[in-house]
A and B are shown apart, each in its own frame.
Chain A
C-alpha cells in the first residue's frame, strides 16, 4: 500500500542552524501538508501546498519557514534559523485532491527535530 515517507526520523541541530526536513508524498497525490506536534501538545497545522505554491499557512509558519517541491517526488520543509521552541515532531501529509471537501490526508511517520 502506498505511504508517505519522511527523512530523517530524528534530527538534532544547534540553535541558529538551518534544517531541511524531507518528505515523499504518495505518488498520485496533489496536495501536500506539514503539521507539527510539540511534545505533549496538539498536532498543529503549519502549511498546505498545491500546484507549486502555498495555499494556506498558519501563524506559526513565519518567515523562518519555507516549503518546496524541488522535483516530482520530494516535498521539503526548511527552517532557516532554528530556535529552541522549534523542537517538535514534524509530520508531512498528502491527499489526492479529488475534491476539497472529501480529501483524506495520509500522514508520514514524522521527523523528530531536537534543537539544542
Chain B
C-alpha cells in the first residue's frame, strides 16, 4: 500500500545544515512535496520536486530524490531558529484523474543556539 515514512525528530545547532529524510512507496508518484508546519499554523508549501529530477535547489533548500531507492531528502543550509517546525514529506497519488497527498508523520526540527 501507499506509505510515507520519516524520522520523527532532528536537533541541530544554529548555522549547521539540517537533513530531513523521507521514504515513500508508490513508484508512480509524479510530484513529491515538502510542507512546513509552525506551531499553531497550517501547512506551508516549502518546495516540491518532479519525479524525473534528482535534485532541486531553492535558496537555502536542496531537495534530493533517489527514485531507485524511493528516498527523498530536504537539506536546509545555515539553519536558523526560525526554521524550527515540523516538516512533512508528501507524495502525490493520482487516481481517476484526481490527485491526493499521502503524508509522512512529520519530522520535528529543533534548532538550538
A38 to B102, CA, bound (A): 15
A56 (CB) vs chain B CBs: closest residue: B98
Interface residue tally of chain B, by bracket? 20 to 34
11 residue pairs bridging A and B, Cβ less than 8 Å apart: A4-B42, A6-B42, A31-B98, A43-B43, A50-B98, A55-B98, A56-B96, A101-B30, A106-B45, A107-B44, A107-B45
From known contacts A91-B42, A101-B31, A106-B45, infer whether A42 and B103 are also in contact, taking CB-CB under 8 Å: yes
Interface SS majority for chain A = strand
Contacts of B81 in A (CB 8 A): none
The proximity string for B residues 83-113 relative to A, scoring 1 for CB distances below 8 Å and 0 otherwise, is 0000010101011111111111110000000
Contact present for A91 and B43 (CB under 8 Å)? yes
